[in-house]
C-alpha cells in the first residue's frame, strides 16, 4: 500500500466495525479528543492516529485487532503513554489501541507469590495490592506511579532495584496475548520455567510488534526486613567508578547502586535542596542494601570500607525510612530538576560494561563539548546503565537535531566498548536507526523473520523497533531519525 493509497482509506466502515464490536463510546474519532494521544513520553515526536479504541477485555482487544487485520490497517498499542523511546507513538493512518482502561488486578495468590493484572494497571498498584501482606513487585521505573504494567512489558522496563532483582522480563511468569492475527494465546505459565520456546520472554520487550498483552502474571517478592541507604561522595568520577567496580567485584549485589555527577547533584540541590549532597563532590554514589538485618549491617560495613578504600570523602548512612527518603529525594527528582534548569532535556539510555565507566563518562563529556551541549549524568552505575541528560532548547531551530546527533554518538560509544543502545527505555521510534550499529544484517534479519512469523501482515506497530533497509541506509549516512520512513509494505 503506498502513501497515496492509504490516504484513500475509507474509515467509515472501520469505525462502524469497532463500534459494533466494542461499543461506540469506546471508539474515539474526534480530532480534539485524539490530540492527547499524539505522543508518548518522547514528546519531540508527534503523530495523530486515525482512530483510538479503548477496549476493556481480552475479547474486545482481539475483536479490534481482527478488524485491523480485516481492513489491513496498522495498529499501535498504548498503555499509560509514559514511554521514553516513542514505542507508543501513533503511526499515520493507524488505529491506536489503548489499554489504559483495562486496569483491573484480576487475582492475587500470595502463597505462590503471583499476581495477575490487566495491562492498564499502574506499576505501583501491584505493590500497593500486596504490601499489606509483606510483598512487593520489584521492577520500579522512575515513572512507577504513572506507568502501566502493559507498557513495562512492552519495553522490558527497569528501575533502580533491577540491579539486584532484574528487569521486567525476570518478573513476568505468563502472558495472555492477542496476536496480530487476533488469535489469543497463553505464553509462559504460572511457574517460573515452562517448556517449549520461551515466547513469553520473546514477547517482553517486543514493543508492541508481536501483539498486545491483555493479562499479565507477575511474580511478587517478599519485602525485605531491613533496608539501608549509603551516600558516598568522591572528588573524582574515576574514584566513584572504581568504588562501583570494587563493590561488584567483591560479589556484593546492592539493591540499587546509583551515580550522579557534579552537574546533576548541583542541579538537584538548586531545585529541591536536599542539603545532603556535597556540592563540591565530583560524583556521589547512592547505594541501597536490603535483606535480613544482620546481612544488611554486615554488607553496609563492607560497602563503606570499599568506598573509603577507593577515596570516598564522607559516607552517610540512613536506616530509618525518613532518612532513606531524604537521601533518595535528590536522585528521584533529578530529571524534574533538569526540566527546571533547561527548557528541554533529552534522556539517552545506553549500557556499558562497568569496567568502562570512567572512560565512557570522560568521553561523554568530550562529546558534549564537541557538540556544544551540557550533559548531566544520573544513572544506574551498578549495572552500567547510563542515562545521559542532554540539556537544550527545542524552541531554537536545529537544536533537537543536534542533540539527537549527540545522543547517537553516545550510543555508538556504548556499542564500541561492548555495551548496548538501550538498557530499559526500549528502541521504539527513537533508536531503531541505531540497531545496525549493534547488530549485523543477519542478526537483524533473524529478528525480522520472527516478527514476520508472528505478524505476517506487518500491522503491529510496524515502524518501531527494527530498522527497515531505508532507515538503515539513512543511519549509515548519519541522517537518520529526522523523519519516519514508511515501512516496506507500504
The C-alpha atoms of residue 412 and residue 406 are separated, in whole angstroms, by 10
Using CB under 8 A as the binding rule, the residues of this chain from 397 to 436 that contact a copy of itself are 418-424, 426-427, 431, 435
61 sits in the region (left: phi over 0; alpha: psi -120 to 50; else beta) called: alpha
Please count the other Cβ atoms lying within 10 Å of the Cβ belonging to residue 54.
Answer: 21
The DSSP result for 304-327, as a single string, is HHHHHHTT-S-EEEE-SHHHHHHH
Residue 180 in the binding site for a copy of itself (CB under 8 A): no
Residue 105 in the binding site for a copy of itself (CB under 8 A): no
Residue 79 in the binding site for a copy of itself (CB under 8 A): no
Using CB under 8 A as the binding rule, the residues of this chain from 112 to 131 that contact a copy of itself are 112-113
Residue 73's SS3 state is: coil
Using CB under 8 A as the binding rule, the residues of this chain from 246 to 285 that contact a copy of itself are 248-251
Based on CB atoms, which residue is closest to a copy of itself, 26 or 354?
354
Residue 194 in the binding site for a copy of itself (CB under 8 A): yes
Based on CB atoms, which residue is closest to a copy of itself, 26 or 425?
425
Q: How far is CA 110 from CA 118, 161, 170, 218, 485, in A?
A: 18, 21, 18, 11, 47
Query: Could you tell me the smallest distance in angstroms from the CB atom of residue 50 to a copy of itself?
Result: 28
Residue 182 in the binding site for a copy of itself (CB under 8 A): no
Query: Could you tell me the smallest distance in angstroms from the CB atom of residue 469 to a copy of itself?
Result: 16
Residue 3 in the binding site for a copy of itself (CB under 8 A): no
Using CB under 8 A as the binding rule, the residues of this chain from 212 to 231 that contact a copy of itself are 221-225
Please count the other Cβ atoms lying within 10 Å of the Cβ belonging to residue 279.
Answer: 12
Among 191, 325, 366, 482, the residue binding a copy of itself under the rule CB under 8 A is 191
Query: Could you tell me the smallest distance in angstroms from the CB atom of residue 128 to a copy of itself?
Result: 18
Using CB under 8 A as the binding rule, the residues of this chain from 354 to 373 that contact a copy of itself are 354-355
The DSSP result for 163-189, as a single string, is HHH--GGGGEEEEEEE-TTS-EEEEE-
Q: How far is CA 70 from CA 13, 14, 25, in A?
A: 11, 9, 22
Cell numbers found for residue 92: 499515520
Element (H, E) at 474: helix 469-476
Q: Looking at 32-40, 76-84, 204-212, 330-338, which segment touches a copy of itself (CB under 8 A)?
A: 204-212
Based on CB atoms, which residue is closest to a copy of itself, 104 or 194?
194
Among 70, 340, 370, 452, the residue binding a copy of itself under the rule CB under 8 A is 452
Residue 106 in the binding site for a copy of itself (CB under 8 A): no
Please count the other Cβ atoms lying within 10 Å of the Cβ belonging to residue 406.
Answer: 23
Q: In what order do the strands lie in the sheet with 95-98?
A: 27-28, 51-53, 95-98, 75-78
Among 10, 31, 32, 197, the residue binding a copy of itself under the rule CB under 8 A is 197
Amino acid at each position: 500500500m503506498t502513501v497515496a493509497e492509504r490516504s484513500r482509506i475509507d474509515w467509515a466502515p472501520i469505525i462502524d466495525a469497532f463500534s459494533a464490536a466494542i461499543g461506540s463510546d469506546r471508539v474515539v474519532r474526534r480530532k480534539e479528543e485524539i490530540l492527547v494521544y499524539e505522543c508518548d513520553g518522547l514528546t519531540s515526536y508527534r503523530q495523530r492516529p486515525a482512530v483510538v479504541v479503548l477496549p476493556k477485555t481480552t475479547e474486545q482487544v482481539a475483536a479490534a485487532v481482527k478488524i485491523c487485520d480485516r481492513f489491513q490497517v496498522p495498529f499501535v498499542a498504548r498503555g499509560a503513554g509514559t514511554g521514553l523511546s516513542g514505542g507508543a507513538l501513533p503511526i499515520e493512518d493507524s488505529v491506536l489501541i489503548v489499554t489504559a482502561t483495562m486496569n483491573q488486578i484480576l487475582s492475587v495468590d500470595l502463597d505462590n507469590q503471583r499476581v495477575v493484572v490487566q495491562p492498564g494497571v499502574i506499576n505501583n498498584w501491584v505493590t500497593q495490592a500486596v504490601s499489606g501482606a509483606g510483598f512487593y513487585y520489584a521492577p520500579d521505573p522512575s515513572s512507577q506511579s504513572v506507568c502501566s504494567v502493559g507498557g513495562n512489558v512492552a519495553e522490558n522496563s527497569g528501575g533502580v532495584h533491577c540491579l539486584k532483582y532484574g528487569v521486567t522480563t525476570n518478573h513476568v511468569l505468563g502472558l495472555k496475548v492477542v496476536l496480530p492475527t487476533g488469535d489469543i494465546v497463553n505464553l509462559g505459565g504460572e511457574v517460573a520455567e515452562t517448556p517449549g520456546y520461551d515466547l513469553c520472554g520473546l514477547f517482553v520487550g517486543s514493543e508492541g510488534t508481536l501483539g498486545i498483552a491483555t493479562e499479565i502474571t507477575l511474580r511478587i517478592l517478599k519485602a525485605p526486613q531491613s533496608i539501608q541507604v549509603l551516600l558516598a561522595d568522591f572528588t573524582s568520577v574515576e574514584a566513584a567508578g572504581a568504588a562501583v567496580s570494587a563493590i561488584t567485584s567483591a560479589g556484593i549485589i546492592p539493591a540499587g547502586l546509583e551515580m550522579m555527577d557534579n552537574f546533576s547533584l548541583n542541579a538537584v540541590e538548586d531545585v529541591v535542596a536536599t542539603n545532603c549532597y556535597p556540592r563540591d563532590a565530583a560524583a556521589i554514589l547512592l547505594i541501597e542494601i536490603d535483606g535480613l538485618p544482620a546481612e544488611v549491617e554486615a554488607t553496609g560495613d563492607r560497602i563503606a570500607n570499599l568506598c573509603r578504600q577507593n577515596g570516598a570523602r564522607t559516607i552517610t548512612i540512613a536506616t530509618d525510612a525518613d532518612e532513606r527518603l531524604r537521601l533518595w529525594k535528590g536522585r528521584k527528582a533529578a530529571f524534574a530538576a533538569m526540566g527546571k534548569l533547561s527548557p528541554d532535556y533529552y534522556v539517552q539510555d545506553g549500557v556499558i560494561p562497568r569496567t568502562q565507566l570512567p572512560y565512557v563518562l570522560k568521553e561523554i563529556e568530550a562529546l558534549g563539548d564537541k557538540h556544544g551541549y551540557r550533559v548531566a549524568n544520573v544513572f544506574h552505575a551498578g549495572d552500567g546503565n547510563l542515562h545521559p541528560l542532554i540539556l537544550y532548547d527545542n524552541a531554537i531551530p536545529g537544536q533537537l537535531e543536534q542533540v539527537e546527533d549527540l545522543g547517537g554518538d553516545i550510543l555508538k560509544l556504548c556499542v564500541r566498548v561492548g555495551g548496548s543502545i538501550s538498557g530499559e527505555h526500549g528502541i521504539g521510534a527513537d533508536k531503531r536507526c541505531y540497531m545496525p550499529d549493534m547488530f549485523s544484517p543477519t542478526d537483524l534479519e533473524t529478528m525480522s523473520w520472527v516478527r514476520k512469523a508472528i505478524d505476517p501482515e506487518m500491522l503491529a506497530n510496524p515502524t518501531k523497533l527494527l530498522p527497515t533497509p531505508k532507515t538503515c541506509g539513512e543511519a549509515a549516512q548519519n541522517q537518520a531519525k529526522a523523519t519516519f520512513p514508511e515501512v516496506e509494505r507500504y
